[in-house]
Amino acid sequence: MQKFSMTAKNPPTTTRKPRTDALRNRLRILEVAKAAFTRQGANASLEEIAKQAGVGPGTLYRHFPTRDALIEGVYRNEVEKLAEAATYFAEKMSPIDALRAWMMLLVEYIAAKHIIAPALNTIAGGASRLHEGSRTFIHAAIDGLVKRAKKSGDLRRDLHADDLLRALIGASHMGSGADWQQSARRLVDILIAGSRPLK
């Protein structure tokens, strides 16, 4: 005896548990891809990534139909950690300090190649769909911090979180020179100083 007819479509009811091997592969791929993008930039060979992950190209493409999808996958993974940090800072610090700390962390994080720098361009403001519609975690994170600092009177009311974000992403493109940390700090300070109320 069968549940229903099984011949007709009844997608709303039947939701199968996802296969374990699929999950496993997905994670493997993301892991390998992150390393590959970090090392070789956003044009790393997908074929090679698949091979290193121990799957066929078909599998990779099923999980991530396009290169951008894969990049976005890696990106999302990393970005959630930053979002958590924002929450943490907000709890522990004064509004303005939290914002400053988080901005430094962002630059550091990207610069340390935990996130693929060149890929960010494609994604952060470029032709990708990440920005269209659903805002990024990062977006939500900095937006929260900025709102909070506005409320406390530490920041100008007319400030847009996006502006800061874009500036920071640009700042992360260096990697050049040993003094990037100095440089990042300077820029963050400039941004903060320029964002205070006009008094």
By rule CB under 7 A, what count of residues binds DNA? Answer: 31
According to CB under 8 A, which one of 122, 139, 144, 146 is a site residue for a copy of itself? 122
CB of 28 to DNA, least distance (A): 9
Question: For residue 89, what are the contacts with CB-CB under 8 A and spacing of at least 6?
Answer: 97, 98, 101, 102, 145
Residue 55 binds which of a copy of itself, DNA, none (CB < 5-8 A, kind-dependent): DNA
Q: Tell me whether residue 37 or residue 137 sits nearer to DNA (CB atom).
A: 37
Assess 58 for contact with DNA (CB under 7 A).
yes
Stretch binding DNA (CB under 7 A), from 20-28, 97-105, 138-146, 182-190: 20-28
Question: For residue 127, what are the contacts with CB-CB under 8 A and spacing of at least 6?
Answer: none
Q: Please answer whether residues 110 and 169 qualify as being in contact, where contact means their C-beta atoms are separated by less than 8 angstroms.
A: yes
Stretch binding DNA (CB under 7 A), from 14-22, 71-79, 92-100, 141-149: 14-22
Residue 25 binds which of DNA, a copy of itself, none (CB < 5-8 A, kind-dependent): DNA
CA distances from residue 33 to 53, 77, 103 in whole angstroms, order as listed: 8, 12, 26
DSSP string, 51-118: HHHT--HHHHHHH-SSHHHHHHHHHHHHHHHHHHHHHHHHHHS-HHHHHHHHHHHHHHHHHTTSS-HH
Cα(88)–Cα(98) distance, rounded to whole angstroms? 9
CB of 54 to DNA, least distance (A): 6
According to CB under 8 A, which one of 132, 157, 178, 199 is a site residue for a copy of itself? 132
Name the residues that contact DNA, by CB under 7 A: 1-3, 6, 14, 16-22, 25, 43-48, 54-59, 61-63, 65-67
